[in-house]
A = this chain, B = another copy of it.
Amino acid sequence: MNRVQWSRLDAGARAALLARPAEMNAPDVSEQVAAILADVRERGDRAVRDYTQRFDGIVLNEPRVSVADMDEASATLPAALRTAIEEAAARIEAFHRAGMAADYALDTAPGVRCERMLRPIARVGLYVPAGSAPLPSTALMLGIPARLAGCEEVVVCTPPRADGRADPAVLHAARVCGIDRVYRIGGVQAIAAMARGTASVPACDKLFGPGNGWVTEAKRQVSSGAGAVGIDMPAGPSEVLVIADAGANPGFVAADLLSQAEHGPDSQVILLSDDDAMLDAVDAQVRAQLAQLPRAGIARQALACSHLVRVASLDEAFEISNRYAPEHLILALRDARAWLPRVRRAGSVFLGDWAPEALGDYCSGTNHVLPTSGAARYCSGVNVSSFQVAITVQEVSAEGLAQVGPCAAELASAEGLEAHRRAVTLRLEAAA
């Protein structure tokens, strides 16, 4: 891993260090993605079938997974895995339920009642990747808040395995979330089908879920322009930033860095420490642990773009972290809780030595679909409100209009909007 001292870097070197490698290296796939989107819009299921054959090597006669196949997947799943999925689901549900917003109403003047009412987004599409590995945890992270929100129609698309079937753990996770509409469709064709609808796949109002660069670009395109659908957030490769003091456990820190690095060759990991010995020890531990990993090849590529940074102080570390706005932030600090108020930008934060980032990926209860690439500056991880819209309401009596109407009329005049003013004064005169 690249080893640097922050105080010795000039402004340009600092910006380069904090730049996401994916942004520098991403191939431009926008034209190919646009072509697939247009083709699926035009030819529907036939196009989906063609791309599935081309990209997944599967002949897809019936894209939807049957109820019998879902039952079988659950029945044949190893008991320990079934239990783990259900246990994780329970904690994710508990945490997400506790954060749900409620409707409220307020009389802003006598006779003027204003309200906010929350409604589920009617049709949502969840993308569950299965590129290098199937991700039943992602099915839980999207399916549970969708159910809590009360979405009427929840669709899952997940790429078929080499044998043409959907991963049984993903199917069981979907069932645990009450989802019975699962399609064995992956990649751009899945996003296209959910955004535009085909004979088999219903058109959705909002799409969720992580994916590779192609899926991300497809989500970007369908969320923009005429006929746009909503998306959860701009997605990018996973990343972690660790702030470790001299008292941290270098083996734990190295394990956390590696668990992020194994996600993909474009993942990024950064360690900030005010202690040279800690940086040395973590570096050694990374080397030692890396040798034992089945995905060492992927992790090694990610580590090549990652950094061990010596900071002058923990204050400086938090400045850097807030500037980077990491998806995951681990505070491997003595009294991590006391430092928490310094965190202003991050997706999810892990306090202390006993909170590996992997807990948040699976089962602490928080969501693992989090803002990457610095989007934590302005957006949040998935939660129940991601599956809801808030509609405001005003109920006004004639007395209420007398209270607030003149104010509206005055402002309408100032804005030169005479018809706005008249819509108010006409009623004021009628009520008088």
Contact = CB atoms under 8 A, between A and B. Distances in A.
A262 interface: yes
A378 B112 contact: no
A380 B390 contact: yes
A348 B394 contact: yes
Contacts of A80: 410
Given A91-B404, A294-B418, A378-B206, A349 B393 contact: yes
Interface string A363-374: 111110001010
A14 interface: no
B108 A94 contact: yes
Contact of A299 (B114, B117, B393, B419): B419
A208 to B, nearest CB: 11
A9 interface: no
Interface string A280-299: 00000000010011110001
A12 interface: no
A108 to B, nearest CB: 4
A397 interface: yes
A122 B406 CA distance: 36
Nearest to A289: B422
A71 interface: no
A432 interface: no
Contact of A415 (B134, B346, B363, B391): B134
A420 interface: yes
Interface of A: 23, 26, 80-81, 83-85, 87-88, 91, 94-95, 98-99, 101, 104, 106, 108-109, 112, 114, 116-117, 119, 121-122, 132-137, 169, 205-206, 220, 224-230, 234, 249, 251-252, 255-256, 258-259, 261-263, 289, 292-295, 299, 336-337, 340, 343-367, 371, 373, 375-381, 383, 385, 388-398, 400-401, 404-408, 410-412, 414-424, 426-427, 430-431
Most chain B CB neighbours (cut-off 10 Å) among A98, A292, A424: A424
A106 B94 contact: yes
Given A108-B91, A363-B408, A394-B359, A133 B415 contact: yes
List the 6 closest pairs (A to B, CB-CB), nearest first: A230-B378, A108-B365, A84-B410, A133-B416, A355-B396, A255-B423
A320 B98 CA distance: 35
Main secondary structure of the interface of A (DSSP, over half): mixed
A398 to B, nearest CB: 5
A133 B417 contact: yes
Most chain B CB neighbours (cut-off 10 Å) among A104, A220, A224, A419: A419
Nearest to A124: B378
A168 B256 CA distance: 55
A423 to B, nearest CB: 4
Given A396-B359, A411-B88, A415-B133, A380 B376 contact: no
Nearest to A92: B108
A262 B420 contact: yes
A405 B359 contact: yes
Contacts of A383: 116, 390
Contact of A119 (B119, B137, B344, B421): B344
A366 B388 CA distance: 18
A259 B348 contact: no
B229 A378 contact: yes
